[in-house]
Structures are given as C-alpha cells and as structure tokens.
Structure 1
Amino acid sequence: MISLSPSRPMPSYVSTRLRWPRTTHAAMLGARHLQDATTDRALPKTKPKPSPYKQFRWGNRPLSVNDLATPAWCEVKFEYDLRHGRRKKLAERPESFVTTEGKTIAVVQAVAAERDRITARGQTIHEALEREIQPKAVTVTVPSKIAEERWASRLVELFGSLQTLLKQGRCRELSVFGMIQDEIVVGSIDEIVLEPLPIPKPKSRPLRPVGPAASRSGHNEPSASRTPRKSGSKTSRQAVDILTRRYSLQLSDTKTRVRHSLPPSEDMYPSRIQLMLYHRLLSSLLASANSSIRSNPLDFQLFWKRAGVDPHRKFSDTFIDQTGLLPASIDPSLSDQSVFRGSSCLEDLTTAWLHAVKALNIANIDRSLTLVYRTQSAKRRRRTGKGTRRRKTSGRENASVSSSHQEMQGLAASMQTAPCSPTPTIEDSIDKEGMTVAELAKEAKILGKKTFGMDDPFLDEYLTRVLAWWHGQRPPQGVNVKLRRRCMTCEYRDGCEWREKQAEEALRSESGSRRAQARFIKAWSKVFTTPASTDRR
C-alpha cells in the first residue's frame, strides 16, 4: 500500500511586509537631477535637421515653379535629386549620396544616363520650337552678383517677351515672378498666345423719319443720312482697331513623350500644377497695372522688401550696356521712350512695366490651360544598320503649337516608358547636333492636347501641402502601390527608403490579413524584378 503523505512537511507561506527606507524630498530631487545628468551624458542632444528649404534654397535662391510642381510626381525622388545634385552634369555627380536618415544610396548609373539622354533630346526639340518664332532670339545673360541687377534682368526679359507678343501674337519663355503663400516664386512660361477679342459693334443711331416735310427739304439741301461722310484710309482704321481692340492671353505648355500615346491623367498631375502656377504668377503681375484682371495684384514695394533689395539703388554702367537699357533699344509701341530713358533702378523699371502692361490692352487671361504632347523620336540615327520599327501616330500638325525648355515634371512623365541603355553610344553626340524647324514635322509630331480649367482651391490645397515639406514640417511622401511603375525608371530604386518603409508597414499591419500583406509585398517586389529596359508599348 502506497502512502500519499509527503516525506517532508510542506512549507508554510508567511506574508512579509517590505519596509523601504524613508527618503526625503531633497534626496528625491537630488536623485532626479543625477539621473537627468547621467542621461544627458549618455544620450547627447541632437541638432534638429534642417529643412529642404534651408539646405537647398536658403539665401538669394527663390523657389521656382519647378520646385513646387515636380514633387507632385514623387516627393522622395525629388529630395533625392536635390541631394544627388541633379542640376550638375552626369560626370560631376557622385555615384552615391547620404539621405536625411543617414542611409547611403547607390545611384543606378544606367538609368541616370538614360534620363540625361532623354533630357537632351527634349531640349533639342524645344530649341527648334523657339527658333520657329524667333530665328535670331537673343538671351539676356547678366553675370551680376548684385541682387538688384539680377531682378532687373528678369524685368528686361519681360519687356523683350512683350515686344515679341505684340509683333507676332505669341511668345515663348516669358519670365514671371511673384509671391505665392508668402514665398517668392519665379518661373518661365512655356508659350503665350495673344488672342484678339471681338470688337463690340457700336450702337446704331435711330433713322430720322421720312415725311413730306423732309422730302421737300431734301430737294434744297443734301440730307446727312443720304450723303455718307468721307471715310478715312484703311491704315487709319486699322490703327484705331489696334488701339481699341482688347486681347485675351492663352497659356500652354509642350511636353515630349517617348511613347507614342498620351499619358494617363494621373501622370498629367505635375504638368497641370505647373501651368496653374504660371497662370497665377502672370495674373498677379498684370493685375498690378490692369484692374480688369481678376487676381491679387503684386505689390512691388512689398516684393522688393521681401526679396531684400533696394529699388532705388542705381544700376552699374556695365549692367546698362549689357542689358541694352537705352532708348533706342526699346520698342516705342510699349511705352513712351522718356520712361525708359531714366530707367536706372528697379523703381524706374517697375514704372515702365506698368506702362507696358497698359499698352497691351489685356482684358483677361484665359482660365482654360492646354498641355500639348509631342513625340520624342528615339534618336536621329546614322543609317548603318536596321532601325527599330515605329508605330504610326495620328494627329494633325499645328504650326502654332510651341514650347520652351522642358520642365522636370514633363521629363518624369515621359520617363515612365523610356528604355534604359547601360552605356552611352555614338548616338549621344548626334543628339547634340540640334534640330531644324523643318525637321519638327517628322521628329516631333503632335500626339494630342489636354485642356483643363484653372482650379484655385485645388492649387491652394496642393501648395499648402508641398510647402509644408519644403519647410520641414512633414517628411516626403513617395508613390503609392498603384503607381509603383514610376519606380521602374528611377535611378534611386535600389535603396529607396520609401519602398522599404512601405514593406515594413505591411509586415507590421495587424488589421490586414496575411494574404493582403503578401499581395502588397509581391506588388512592390515587381519593381525590383522588372528590367528597367522594358518599354511596354
């Protein structure tokens, strides 16, 4: 028989009360200070990270329209472009760079080289379009270190563009500037067309009734209604029409495409923002001298103060000679020559600008904005072998469609289908030879146009969001999973922090199912596995 009683007595558990030593209030404060001091020594204070604005646009470098519109494609990519030195030549850029978070990203050189080739081909087309309007266009280049003279050169360019607009009915590369949400913004409008508005018919006077008395008196003296007055010459009537006719300005922007099709609507997003910014800046400039323009007029005195320049500071003689600020070089149709004869400072040029705007007789700026898409031929090849077969494109040529230098967001939109070559070829030097105006019909056919309306609430909402990133109030945001195709043509795709963050968030997600997480990770992994040279036509 087995006994169940334990061989040893079970221990009895006794409740014990722990007594802590009494601690005075002074001792507690001393311990807290000691702990804080130890923590400060262990974890040194880190300086706050400077905002992108302070890093890349601080000082005398105002924001450009491109700086505000391009992040709409991908803010992370745009920030990487700033840190990598996208404005430099390809040979001068580093092979890698360090991000804000301290990560080193190696640049895919093949993709970066292809981007440069696409940029060069686009600029060739745009230069030919510029020569279509002005075969002998003169660019004002003032290598001045004086801020007042740099701003004056922008006004001088404005005068030159206005002369072209009056003479030919359209112009390209019209320099604009102004204040947008308390920020100085500069830009260059792609194309402006001067459209005459219908002249309102004068009200006709009622005819005098013809009665017996009028009939009898008509035999003795000629009637004013029957005897027409001697009209003036045709030239004088045309001069009167020019003085009384009012005009509307139409803004457009030309983009070049590698694919022979229009981009989807979501890829037009940066270009739409770009044109709306141009519309707002130009409206503000014209409203300063034209009350019929519905916009907040630019206060030049406040603007010069915000820019940190003295509007009464005299220009140097060298600057006046270089810019041609002489009475003989100014078109008298814009303003009285006496106004320009004394243009020796920004204040004088501002007055001349106000007179020039009044001479234009602008009634409004059309709120319908147009994007024009042209084909960007792969290259003008030397016929040493078989070439690639191209798909025929439809669309009628319009000689009035033109463009300025291609903006960065247009480049990004066309990059989504660009083939990536690993190494430069002999054709790169051929691209730099230029294109004639006659070659535009073959090399840069019009694919189509997209017209949209000016949307002020939409633009204000976007500007508030993008300026918050510029000033470091929020981190940059990349593309969502639906637009992951944009990563295929990005030279930073191999080490992109945004894609890594998206994958980590999918793994940490508790609300989503494992199947949904797997689909998410699989979608992002396609970006890595898809070859960059794929051009899905």
Structure 2
Amino acid sequence: MEASGPSHQIRLLTPTTTIAPQTRRPASARSVSSNGGMEEGYESDYDGLDEFPTLTEDDLVLVDAACADALAGAVFAEAPTIATPMEEFAALTDADSAKALAPPDIEGDGMEVDLGVAMPTISIELEGSGSTASAPSQASPMARYRRWGTLSVTDLLSLSWCEVQFEYGLQQRRSSRLADRPRSFRSERTGKEIVVQQDVAARNDKTTKRGRFIHKELERELKPEDIRVLITSEEERWAIRLINFVSSLLSLGLEECAREIPVVGLVNGIVVVGIVDELTLNGGSIRVSDTKTRRTDTLPSDEDAEPAKLQLMVYYRLLRAQLDQTTPFDYPTLWTALHLDPAAPFSPEFLAQLDGDTDASLRCLGDVATFVAQRVKEMSLPPLDRTLTIVYRSQNKYGRRPQRTSTVPVDPELAQAIQLSLAQSDAEFEAELQKVLRTSAAELDMPAPQVDPIPEPTTRLPVNTIIGTKDFSMNDAVLDAYLLDAIAWWRGLRKARGVAERQTRRCFSCEYFNDCEWREQKGREMLEEVRRRREAAGQAAF
C-alpha cells in the first residue's frame, strides 16, 4: 500500500504480525475523523459567548449517526447541539444524581504496541452514502435530534449558556454551513416564525472558524498526519476509535503530552462520546486541560466560565472510567447500547488496509477492546489530577502584544456558592448554546456542522496567544446534578429554559434575539407583575 503522507506508522504488534495502516483516500469514500467527527473539528467560542467552545464532540455524535445510517442505506440529516443551568443543582440530593460511568476492564492478551513519537490519527472513510433520512419523531429532543441514541459531551454542556438558543439552533439546522441554513423557521413551541439575524449569524460563524483554526494548529503540533482507513461497518469504525484512544495514551507517555483524545462512556444509560483537548504529565499525575478561544483579550467571569468547567469535569469522569485499574470498563453494555456485535469479523478489506499479513489476533471489535484494556494496564499511567485547567487564547491575530499568562485558582467554595445562589431563584437558569456545531469530535464531543472551509495552518501558534488560565477542582456533586438536569431536557422531561434576568447580556450575541419567545414570555410576565403591583398599591391608598 502506498503512503500519501509522512512516514509515521501505527503498528499493533502481536507475536507474529504487524498492522500498519497508512494514508489512503478512495474517491468514492466519505472521510470522517477517527475520533468520531468530521476531519476538521475543533472547539472555539460562539461569537458573543466569549468562552464557549465549538462543538467538536458533536461532530462525533452526528458522524456516528451518518455512518450508521449510511451503512444501513440511509443518511442522517444533521442537527445541532444544546444548553442548561448550573446553580440550582445544590438543591438536588445525591440520590437524584445520575450514576456515572463504570470504570474500565483492564484485561488483555499481552499484545504490544509500537508507536512513533508523533502519533498520527487514523481517519475513517465510509463507502457509499445514500438517500435522505426519514422524518424524526415528534417526541423528546433525544428522539428528534439524536435518534441514534448517542450524545456528545458538547450536547450535554451546551445547555449551560442558553437552552432556548440551543433549541432554536437544532430547529434551524444550525450545524449546516452558513449558506445552507434556512433564513427563518417555525418554532416547535408555538409555530411562530423565527427570523434569523443574518449579520449576527455571519459574525458568529467567523468567530467559530477562527477558533477551529487555532485548535487545528495546536493539534498538528503533535499529530502531523492523518491515516485514513476505509470501513464497511460500525464495528470497524469503533475499532479505529479505540485504537486512537490507546495511541493517544502512548503519545502521552512518550511526549508527556497528547491532544484530541477520543473518549466514550455511559451516563445514565446514554452513550456519551467526546474528544479531550489535552492531557499532560504533571509530576505524578495526568492533568486534563481544554483550550478556549476568545474575541477579547480578557479572562471571562467565573459565571461565564462555568460551561467550560463542566465540560472538563465530564472529560475527567469519562477518562477516569476508561483508565481505572480496579473496576472493569463495561464494554458489553456499551456495545449493546450502540447495537454493535463485538464478535462480528472485520471485513477482508478493512484487515487488508491495516496489513495484508494480519493474523487472527485482531479480527473483531471484541479483540480490539481486549487489546486496549491490556495496553492501558501495561502502561501503568499515573492517576488523573483532580485539578483541571482551562487555557484561554486570543483570536485577535494570535495576540499582537505579548501578554503575561496568569493562573486564577478557583475558590474551593465557588461551586457551593453558585449552587446556593441558584437555589434562591427559579429565574437563575443558565444555558449555553454551543455555537456553530460541527459534529463531534469531536465529541463530541460532539459530532460536525458543515462550516465554511478554513485555511490550513502553516506556522506554529505563538505563545503570546495565551491570555491566561483558570484552575479549578473536580466536583462530582455539582457534575452529577448538572448531568441529571441536562439529560432530563434531552429525554423530554422538562422544557428548555432561557437565560436569567442577570444574564440577558448573552442575548445580544444571539441570532434569534428579535423573535425569541423566551424574552417575549418574560416581558409579559414583567408587565403583569408591574400591573399587579400598581393595583395593589392603588388599593392600599384607599
């Protein structure tokens, strides 16, 4: 097989065989990232939301659906991402919290992996893509927009900016390219026509592309090439994803840093996929961090940083489950939820691309899962650091003036204070609609919106693009409560909530601002309250 890119190889060594996938791109194939998303899925801020990331994981999810439908003879019609509140969670009890992921199984067959220092990423190419998708069910958001039953990390965390904005984005098919999105749509709430402000949408799209450009450059510093593999089944695609997971961990051991690590797990029985932005060896632990891009060269407030904090907490939990050496990762339940057959043999075409001499050691998805578990066990990686880090980078030409990087530690009582303030008012709903989706990849993470092309990075990103960092501690109680609330929305157990009165500044960067039904509803409620008070005051005067 001829290689069309650099000479880096992924070699999965068994006692008798070498599997060496190399770059190949059939003319009839669709290419998707091995992480689960489209080839170029990177997180960036939604314009006006300053620190809200682009949906890389969503690309994962939407691509999952596209692959599954294409393999079944139908192509899924893409849909966007979400948003939910963050402070009222203190009122929920531990019993309310969803059960988190089961840690991974660490048993295997002793296979060895030999990888180059700069690990390439395997990309998947799907043969044939077909007809139009069937009409979605008019039930829950999960049934209408994620009918294959998988969510990205971004799907779960987008609710933390504005759920109504996110819901509108799903209805408008905001994951499509800007030119392909409808200029108006009918609200599923009331049937009202929502006219999109095109200038705001264009500005948001531009911001998204800037953020993706920066993320792409960061990833290429460690992953100079993609290896493409033509697949014929969902089992083969998931095998590639697992191989990329262990490859990233091996890169972490070799380079003390890894980027764009695909993760998967079960949250309340729902499959959740994502792409961890970066892992670094930090002394005796592994630090999980995420890069957010901003249009302004300032750090966001703690309130506006909440979506990013929650996102990192989910990544931490998924990674912890997959790396745990004490509790087996529940692969059987995962395969059942994904409707996969771990014993289904890989196609001869798939095996031939890995290596024509491949023996029976990696013949099915179950073999790959066993291999990954064994390799994770043999690596003896240090534990995850419970301190998580958000790195903020400027979108302004990568920062024209050198700026000092500052670390802003979060007060240990921050989460509790936020929860208490939420409990004080039902209006304290926050939501965060992740901007222009691109389905993750990420995640994701996260599934990938078809945004307009962005230029290929050609130079290393200057260090002075970093505005600053925020460090904070993992908080399982806060995360459990948030996930419970977010999943309730996806399952149709509650309606979408808009921003609280104190957060209305978020509305001014929203393309649905003029026709927002949430704002209209709150306006009517305020007028009614004013009338009621006036009437009460008038009666008191007599």
Equivalent of 1:432 in 445, 454, 457: 454
Which residue in 2 is equivalent to 1:387?
Answer: none
The amino acid that maps onto 1:395 is R
**Which shifted more, 99-108 or 296-305?**
296-305
Aligned length: 362
**Which shifted more, 103-112 or 158-167?**
158-167
- Provide, for residues 290-318 of structure 1, a one-character-per-residue CA deviation record: whole Å limited to 9, x for no partner: 12xxxx65211122122211110111122
Q: Closer, same or farther in 2 for the Cα pair 1:141/1:173, shift >3 Å?
A: farther
- State the shift of 1:497 in Å: 0.8
- Provide, for residues 262-316 of structure 1, a one-character-per-residue CA deviation record: whole Å limited to 9, x for no partner: 01111111111110110111111112xx12xxxx652111221222111101111
Equivalent of 2:336 in 294, 298, 305: 305
- Provide, for residues 445-483 of structure 1, a one-character-per-residue CA deviation record: whole Å limited to 9, x for no partner: 111110111111101101111111111111000101111
Structure showing greater Rg: 1
1:360 aligns with 2:448: no
C-alpha contact 1:260 1:391 (8 A) present in aligned 2: no
1:490 aligns with 2:527: no
**SS of the counterpart of 1:154?**
helix
C-alpha contact 1:189 1:278 (8 A) present in aligned 2: yes
Q: Distance in 1 between matches of 2:535 and 2:498?
A: 24
Q: Distance in 2 between matches of 1:83 and 1:139?
A: 35
Equivalent of 2:185 in 88, 91, 97: 97
- State the shift of 1:104 in Å: 1.4
Which residue in 1 is equivalent to 2:239?
Answer: 152
- Structure 1: runs of 5+ lacking an equivalent: 1-47, 198-247, 329-339, 381-389, 399-407, 413-427, 517-537
- State the shift of 1:142 in Å: 4.8
Higher share of residues assigned helix: 1
- State the shift of 1:165 in Å: 1.6
**SS of the counterpart of 1:363?**
coil
The amino acid that maps onto 1:481 is E
- State the shift of 1:505 in Å: 1.3
Which residue in 2 is equivalent to 1:14?
Answer: none
1:314 aligns with 2:345: yes
Q: How does 1:257-406 map to 2 (within 5 A)?
A: 257-287=294-324, 290-291=325-326, 297-322=328-353, 324=354, 342-377=361-396, 392=401, 394-396=403-405
Q: Closer, same or farther in 2 for the Cα pair 1:140/1:464, shift >3 Å?
A: farther
C-alpha contact 2:161 2:307 (8 A) present in aligned 1: yes
**SS of the counterpart of 1:491?**
coil
Q: Distance in 2 between matches of 1:121 and 1:254?
A: 13
TM-score (norm 2): 0.62
Higher relative CO (CA 8 A, sep ≥ 6), structure 1 or 2? 2
TM-score (norm 1): 0.63
**SS of the counterpart of 1:254?**
strand
Q: Distance in 2 between matches of 1:440 and 1:327?
A: 44
C-alpha contact 1:179 1:298 (8 A) present in aligned 2: no
- State the shift of 1:163 in Å: 2.8
The amino acid that maps onto 2:293 is T
- Provide, for residues 313-340 of structure 1, a one-character-per-residue CA deviation record: whole Å limited to 9, x for no partner: 1111222344x36889xxxxxxxxxxx9
The amino acid that maps onto 1:433 is P
Q: Distance in 2 between matches of 1:143 and 1:265?
A: 44
Equivalent of 1:180 in 264, 267, 271: 267
- State the shift of 1:158 in Å: 1.1
Which residue in 2 is equivalent to 1:506?
Answer: 526
Q: Closer, same or farther in 2 for the Cα pair 1:119/1:88, shift >3 Å?
A: same
Higher share of residues assigned strand: 2
1:166 aligns with 2:253: yes
Which residue in 2 is equivalent to 1:457?
Answer: 477
Q: Distance in 1 between matches of 2:255 and 2:389?
A: 20
**SS of the counterpart of 1:362?**
coil
C-alpha contact 1:118 1:411 (8 A) present in aligned 2: no
Which residue in 2 is equivalent to 1:13?
Answer: none
Which residue in 1 is equivalent to 2:6?
Answer: none
- Structure 2: runs of 5+ lacking an equivalent: 1-136, 408-431, 437-450, 537-542
- State the shift of 1:361 in Å: 0.9
CA RMSD of the aligned region, Å? 3.0
**Identity rate, percent:** 39
- State the shift of 1:74 in Å: 0.6
